[in-house]
Copies of this chain bind each other. A is one copy, B any other.
Amino acid sequence: MKKFLYVLSIVFVCSLICYAVGKEKKQYQSPVIENILTRVSVRQYSDKKVEQEKIDIILKAAMAAPSGTNKQPWEILIINDKQKLKKISEVAPNAKYAENSQLAIIVCGDINVSEKLWMQDCCAVTENILLAAHALDLGAVWCMAYPSQERVSDIQKLFNLPENVVPLSIIPIGYPLEKEQPKQKYNVKKIHINGWK
């Protein structure tokens, strides 16, 4: 009996340790953190269509971005017309990947709605789109429109945007052609505690 209780105690303690270690490990392996750390810019896409359901989820994630004084100045263009995707590649060479993507999302800001913070809000929208796409096994890449005045103007003309609606980013999306490794960007030298030293 004594031996049995002894063994039981050891099993109990071992279980507790396993639970604690597992919990700890889980914290590190949070799918959210993992998703942020493994996101890569994807510039080549397969021919596989992107499900409308996934596009809807991405749009919900996009508009869940934080917004300065909650003005929500964003306007979101979805381009899935092949001819128009080709046109994007022509006017914005840095977004040439749009031509072979399944769709492109152009995140715009209405400067009449939030003159001071439209850009910050639209950047948060863009980052949410990239992270949501990655979580849904899609690939995407942030191509700049603003602050290039030429690019902004060309995209405005191409999609008939009012002057106050400024395209910030062009995001081609599709299923990745290849699995890529994320860049290692963590750099302890960029961390400063309680001031610049």
Residue of B nearest to A24 (CB): B53
Chain B residues in 8 Å Cβ range of A31: 30-32
Chain copies in the assembled complex = 2
Query: A22: shortest Cβ distance to chain B, in Å?
Result: 16
B37, B53, B135: the one within 8 Å of A60 (CB):
B37
Contact of A182 among B64, B68, B162 (CB under 8 A): B64
| One of A1-9, A13-21, A79-87, A172-180 contacting the partner | A79-87
Q: How far is the CA of A151 from the CA of B47 in the complex (A)?
A: 48
Residue contact B37 to A35, C-beta cutoff 8 Å: no
Query: Do A194 and B81 contact each other (CB < 8 Å), given the known contacts A67-B185, A127-B124?
Result: yes
Among B57, B165, B183, which residue has its beta carbon within 8 angstroms of that of A33?
Answer: B57
Q: Does A128 contact B (CB under 8 A)?
A: yes
Chain A facing B: main interface SS: mixed
Asked if A37 contacts B66 (CB within 8 A), the reply is no
Give the contact-size bracket for chain A. 35 or more
Interface residues of A in 113-163 (CB under 8 A from B): 116-117, 119-120, 123-124, 126-128, 130-132, 134-136, 142, 144, 147, 159-162
* Interface pair B124/A66, CB less than 8 Å apart: no
A41 at the interface (CB under 8 A from B): yes
5 new A-B contacts, CB < 8 A, other than A64-B185, A120-B168, are: A30-B136, A32-B135, A33-B57, A36-B61, A36-B131
List chain A positions with a Cβ less than 8 A from chain B: 27-28, 30-33, 35-37, 39, 41, 53, 57, 59-61, 63-68, 70, 72, 74-81, 84, 116-117, 119-120, 123-124, 126-128, 130-132, 134-136, 142, 144, 147, 159-162, 165, 168-169, 182-183, 185-187, 190-196
